[in-house]
Amino acid sequence: MVERTVLTGARVVLPTGVAHDGRVTVEGRRIVDDTAREEPSLDLSGHWIVPGFVDVHVHGGGGASFSAGSAEEALTAIGTHRAHGTTTMVASTVTGDLDDLARQAAVLAELTEQGDLAGIHFEGPFISPHRCGAHQPGLLRDPHPADVRKLIDAAHGAARMMTLAPELPGGLDSVRMLADSGVIAAVGHTDSTYEATLEAIDAGATVATHLFNAMPGLLHRAPGPIAALLEDERVTVELINDGTHLHPAVLELAFARAGADRVAFITDAMGAAGMTDGMFPLGPMRVEVKDGVARIADGPTAGSIAGSTLTLDTAFKRAVTVDGLPVEDAVRALSVNPARLLGVADRVGSLEPGKDADLVVLNGSYDLVGVMRKGEWLIKPEVK
């Protein structure tokens, strides 16, 4: 007999808006359409039910890294973020030797095949040495299409996105190849001009990797990549809403220009997410986390911000309580838009009949109190 779960009484964020005193019914792994009828239910009055979060850019968590080349570490990172509401995620690597990245991709591809991941995002090594951030400068290289193809092939169909600097030699050809291969081409860690960025978008780039971070600032005579990426309707812009990477006024600017349907909140989290302060690896780099902020500990890029320790439940709460976003816009940025970007919106990203029963329960203060993935409670709400 298929297990049935009925949730009632909460404010449910649906594609049509917020249903007050709403109802969500789950049979097995999926949300089903039914008429309200007398049957046992879990009363979630005073709570919110929102779709499970979708993170298209995350490097690790729980002390573990996707770049370790270990399925055990990857599952630890996955479990950490699931406990914070991320029910769908793409594993991001960091710059490394091509052979090492290929080996990492083979491990992550197996987890994608098993359904634990939604794919792989290669962030580097095809990025600008002038905007490398937490990536090791000595391992950077130009995005020659043959090298880009090597990583795509190593992922065995699991490659979902690749971040590159399109102004580098081979950049535009690689963007075209990625687009033709069904892999999202993302502009990031770039020193590109406004004009060169427009060329990349016309060539097939559709994502801005952590917009504003690791790229030239917006200047009145040199608008650079930021203006090009914000203004083009074909581009989804990633934002790290942790209070460290972006000033609230900048986040407001991004929403005002791009609109709520083109923003995807990401964590860009490294292994320290869900952990206390300390030292952590990030690919071949060492990272020190102090007061929750991760920075490269030594070497030529010492002091650079090294990803984040963010989880998406925190990003959601901040969006609503600090940034003043409507709950519906926060849901678009954390669930709807990234699911559409990945091409999985037919299964996840919104609470609709027929879709996977991936959902997050928040209390009245927007703190996470429950997580369901594919109809199974990972954290069951404790209600009176």
Q: Do 29 and 88 sit in the same domain of this protein?
A: no
- Backbone Cα Rg of the chain: 20
Residue 243 forms part of a structural domain: yes
Identified catalytic residue from 55, 191, 232, 268: 268
Burial class (CB in 10 A: 0-12, 13-18, 19+), 374: middle
pLDDT band at 281 (very low <50, low <70, confident <90, very high): confident
Structural domain including 172 reads 53-342
- 350 vs 300, which has greater pLDDT? 350
Phi-psi group of 46: left, alpha or beta (phi > 0 → left; psi -120 to 50 → alpha; rest → beta): left
Active site residue 268: yes
Q: Is 86 left (phi over 0), alpha (psi -120 to 50) or beta?
A: beta
* CB neighbourhood size of 226 (10 A): 23
Domain contains 88: yes
Q: Is 357 annotated as a binding residue?
A: no
- Mean pLDDT computed over 254-259: 98
Residue 214 annotated in ligand binding: yes
The SS3 of residue 86 is: strand
Instruction: Judge if 207 and 287 occupy the same domain.
Output: yes
Report pLDDT digits (tens) over 305-357.
Answer: 888 999 999 999 999 999 999 999 999 999 999 999 999 999 999 999 999 99
Q: Are residues 305 and 367 in the same domain?
A: no
Instruction: With a cut of 80, say whether residue 283 has pLDDT above it.
Output: no
| pLDDT higher than threshold 70 for residue 132 | yes
Residues 6+ apart with CB under 8 A from 281: 65, 67, 68, 271, 287
Q: Is 330 part of any known ligand binding site?
A: no
User: Which range is least confidently modeled, 129-138, 208-217, 297-306, 375-384?
Assistant: 297-306
Q: Do residues 53 and 334 lie in contact, with contact meaning Cβ atoms separated by under 8 Å?
A: yes
Short-list 162, 59, 75, 152, CA closest to 114 = 75
Query: Of 173, 162, 236, 160, which is closest to residue 199 (Cα–Cα)?
Result: 173
List, in order, residues 6 or more apart from 41 with CB less than 8 Å away. Answer: 6, 7, 8, 9, 23
- For the chain, the farthest-separated pair of C-alpha atoms sits apart, in whole angstroms, at 66
Question: Does a structural domain hold residue 314?
Answer: yes
245 known member of a binding site: yes
- Total domains in the chain come to 2
Identify whether 216 is preceded by a cis peptide bond (ω within 30 of 0): no
Asked if 45 and 123 sit in the same domain, the reply is: no
* CATH number for position 40: 2.30.40.10
**For residue 209, what is the domain's CATH number?**
3.20.20.140
| Residues 33 and 68 grouped into a single domain | no
